[in-house]
Structure 1
Amino acid sequence: MLVVGDLVTDVVAALDGAPATGTDTGARIRFAGGGQGANTAAWLAARGTPVTLVAAVGDDEPGRARVAELAAAGVRCAVRAHPGTPTGTVIVLVHDGERTMLTDRGANLLLSPADVDAALAAAPETRHVHVSGYPLLDPASRGAGLRALAAARDQGLTTSVDAASAGPLRHAGAAFLDWVRNADLVLANVDEAAVLAGDTDPVAQARALAAVATHAVVKRGPEGAVWAGPDGIFEAPGRRVTPVVDPTGAGDAFAAGLLAAWVAGAAPPDALERAVALGAEAVTLLGARP
């Protein structure tokens, strides 16, 4: 599998209480690898799926550390280092089961169509291409995301796209649907699906997105997920876990569980079950990786 997306350093702060303006708030703070594409690739590798990540970092110590982490985890890294541009950084504030992200995409903005072409040429065994929405949502990296989808179609590979984040989707508007039209699978959480489908019911959201892509999955967090496609509607209940340590990366783990199963031939109900299980595992961990 080929994953196209961001690779960053996450600075995760699990707050002891609501942030107090002008003074201190206690927190557990961890520096770790992050980025939607990289997280999904790490979860795929942890479950035994051969995976290549196409991404960009700075020619700096954080970039080298992020690549080394993924390589040690079993991810093949088609990651180009760019001198003079820092590796991306995301500050993640976690409180009361929710997270707020402050993002500097750094070298991820330099991801190019040539990077995608080189990675596909070096991995002729690739059967599926998964694109994080973040490259598509920024004009600087959009060409790489679009190239990944077009090249996959040209080579007869299946494709999937994760909608990534509701805020940037609001700026992109309906154009995002044009970028992902005819993908084999689109994934979105309920907030992202509300932006794209204009509805609040997850089943209706999934149906609307499946009119753009062949299949659509709406992630409902602890309530589970919904799949819509040519074979109908499938729902999977959520798994309640305690304690919920950090929701960062849970959607990326969900995507990895779903893709690992579906690309291997699992039916939608089985793929959803494995996705929900992996997403539930992720929220029990501090940070976005297995």
Structure 2
Amino acid sequence: MAGNGVASIGECMIELSGQEGPSWRMGFAGDTFNTLWALHALSGDRPATYVSAFGDDPFSQGQIGFFAENGIGIGKSPVISGARPGLYAITLTGSERSFTYWRGDAAARQLASDPAALAKNLENQALVYFSGITLAILDDAARKTLLAAVAGARAAGSLVAFDPNYRPRLWHSPEAARAAILDALAVTDIALPTFPDEQMLFGDTAPQATAQRLARLVGEVVVKNGEEPALIAEKGAMQPVPAVHVAAPVDTTGAGDSFNGGYLAARLAGHAPAEAALRAHRVAAAVVQVRGALAPFETLRAAFED
């Protein structure tokens, strides 16, 4: 039976964001953690677990401590001797960002190394969330272990949400990405794709094509498309939900991830998909007005309830 908690599976990295001059600010972020951050902020007293694998170095210790300070646990995620977290740096041109990564030997690639611990982390969760990046950092065997654990949680009553979040550099080939994403969609209740990603990987000509294709596989689909309306496909119908325009965005890092967190928090609270998307757009608009991927909890809550 599903419980009250929320769990997100993936890789949280060290984030370096540029400041004025040669200085850099260090934080912690990654697509599935960014979503959990927003989901946790907006979900009241639901226990939050970030499911990954961690090193035993000072940066990993700092990462786990940062989670704990903000009410997020790691459950039974393995802590691996000699391993360390991945790293990325954000550079900005105006508000648009680009990323440089150092993550080839990141501890998170071993998140499925203990199948029993992984399955235990997904027990008694109201919601389990993961992404295409979660899939991409794993080898084939680990990917199968992950999807088996997710399927087990779903069979036990957990709602499963998935963002395909296609990043070409993480995959050996588009064919491998397509196959893995289709396997993930087979155990998914809510799909949260981004149209440009789907266009790149599957050749969709418009958000409606993405929604139609995925609606044949998943009961609830929300196609994100930047500042364009999100498109909801559910129960045979489609509904666009306008985005919130931000005249002068500061940093678009984490906007889509935070949309996901806002949408899932609203759905868990009982809001209908269209209302959930409206709230999610407001959350994403708040996030692009701060630097880095993680907005303060108070900022997220104010946007969600506005």
The question of a shared fold, defined as TM-score above 0.5 by the shorter chain, is answered with yes
Aligned match of 1:32: 27
Match of 2:91 in 1: 93
Q: Name which of 99, 102, 105 aligns with 1:104.
A: 102
- From the superposition, tell whether residues 28 and 222 of structure 1 become closer, same or farther in structure 2 (CA, over 3 Å): farther
Structure 1 position 172 matched with structure 2 position 169: no
Instruction: Give the Cα–Cα distance (whole angstroms) in 2 for the partners of residues 171 and 60 of structure 1.
Output: 36
Post-superposition offset of 1:182: 4.4
C-alpha change, 1:27 and 1:230, in structure 2 (3 Å) is: farther
Residue segments in structure 1 that go unaligned for 5+ positions in a row = 17-25
How far apart, in 1, do the equivalents of 2:13 and 2:145 lie? 17
CA RMSD of aligned residues (A): 2.1
Contact 2:10 2:52 in 1 (8 A): yes
1:279 deviates by: 0.8
| Pairing of 1:203-218 with structure 2 (within 5 A) | 203-218=208-223
Compare the two structures and name the one with the higher strand fraction.
1
Unaligned runs of 5+ in 2: 1-5, 296-306
Q: TM-score, normalised by structure 2?
A: 0.83
Match of 2:246 in 1: 241
Contact 1:89 1:103 in 2 (8 A): yes
SS at match of 1:286: coil
Q: Distance in 2 between matches of 1:37 and 1:228?
A: 23
Tell me the SS of whatever aligns to 1:127.
strand
Q: Secondary structure of the equivalent of 1:174?
A: helix
Equivalent position of 2:229 in the other structure = 224
Aligned position for 2:304: none
In the TM superposition, what whole-angstrom CA distance separates every residue of 1:63-116 from its partner, at most 9, and x where no partner exists? 111111122112222243211111111222222332222233311101013332
Residue 223 of structure 2 aligns to a residue in which SS? Answer: strand
Give matches, 1:1-290, under 5 Å: 1-13=6-18, 29-49=24-44, 50=46, 51-78=48-75, 79-105=77-103, 106-112=106-112, 113-121=115-123, 124=124, 126-140=125-139, 141-167=142-168, 168=170, 170=174, 172-175=176-179, 176-290=181-295
Count how many residue pairs are aligned between Structure 1 and Structure 2.
277
Contact persistence 1:199–1:205 (CA under 8 A): yes
* TM-score of the superposed pair, with normalisation by structure 1: 0.87
Contact 1:12–1:29 (CA under 8 A) maintained in structure 2: yes
Contact 2:17 2:24 in 1 (8 A): yes
1:211 to 1:97, Cα distance in 2 relative to 1, 3 A = farther
Deviations 1:228-282 (A, max 9, x none): 1215112111111243111111111100000011122211110100111111111
| Contact persistence 1:217–1:228 (CA under 8 A) | yes
Residue 193 of structure 2 aligns to a residue whose secondary structure is strand
Q: CA deviation at 1:139?
A: 3.4
Give every structure 1 segment of 4 or more consecutive aligned residues whose post-TM-superposition deviation is greater than 6 Å.
Answer: none
How many angstroms apart in 1 are the aligned matches of 2:93 and 2:260?
23
